[in-house]
């Protein structure tokens, strides 16, 4: 039993790790951090191996949460650096003049951010996002629409302020 469970875990790792790490890489823009996040997601899956019904979904949702934590940590570090340097107080910070879609996605509420990350960044179909998030397909579609509208408004506002 343990041998077959280990084999299944090994096969799952071989099948999903490269894609999960690549997805994380696009989100955090750093190879080492992406591999750390993907590895941590698998570690958390192994800890709950017998209780997880949908391993792929568990991995992506866990990784999305770890990416969010990474983004928060990076933002805290940026704020600390801005406070620590007098130069940052003199000139406007880059996010105001150069809106980043990643920063805008990061700012979305979790209810909207997770479907965006799974659908657009992990290329999952709406049906799969629905299963992974436990929401109806219509709700996922509505959340994706609401998230796109919020992103559009924020991006337009950011671009208008630079002109």
Looking at residue 125, the DSSP 8-state letter turns out to be -
Query: Does 145 share its domain with 79?
Result: no
Query: Does 57 share its domain with 130?
Result: no
Query: Does 130 share its domain with 155?
Result: yes
User: In the prediction, which pLDDT does 122 show?
Assistant: 82
User: In the prediction, which pLDDT does 91 show?
Assistant: 45
User: In the prediction, which pLDDT does 61 show?
Assistant: 93
User: In the prediction, which pLDDT does 55 show?
Assistant: 92
How many structural domains compose the chain? 2
* DSSP letters spanning 62-120: HHHHHHHHHHHHHHHHHHHHHHH-HHHHHS--HHHHS--HHHHHHHS-HHHHHHHIIII
Query: Does 68 share its domain with 112?
Result: no
Boundary-marking domain end, from 70, 87, 104: 87
Specify the pTM. Answer: 0.60
Query: Does 62 share its domain with 140?
Result: no
Give me the average pLDDT of each 10-residue run along the chain (163 residues).
80 94 93 95 92 91 94 81 54 49 83 89 88 91 92 79 64
CA distances from 15 to 10, 19, 123, 140, 148 (A): 9, 8, 16, 26, 31
Tell me the residue range of the domain where 120 lies.
95-162
Query: Does 99 share its domain with 57?
Result: no
């Amino acid at each position: 039993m343990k041998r077959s469970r280990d084999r299944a875990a090994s096969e799952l790792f071989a099948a999903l790790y490269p894609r999960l790490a690549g997805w994380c890489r696009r989100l955090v823009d750093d190879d080492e951090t992406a591999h750390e996040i993907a590895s941590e997601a698998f570690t958390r899956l192994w800890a709950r191996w017998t209780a997880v019904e949908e391993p792929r979904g568990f991995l992506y949702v866990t990784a999305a949460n770890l990416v969010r934590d990474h983004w928060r940590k990076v933002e805290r570090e940026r704020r600390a650096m801005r406070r620590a340097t007098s130069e940052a107080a003199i000139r406007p910070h880059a996010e105001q003049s150069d809106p980043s879609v990643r920063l805008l996605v990061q700012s979305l509420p979790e209810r909207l951010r997770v479907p965006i990350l799974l659908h657009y960044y992990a290329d999952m179909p709406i049906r799969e996002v629905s299963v992974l998030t436990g929401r109806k397909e219509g709700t996922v579609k509505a959340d994706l629409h609401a998230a796109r509208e919020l992103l559009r408004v924020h991006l337009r506002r950011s671009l208008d302020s630079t002109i």
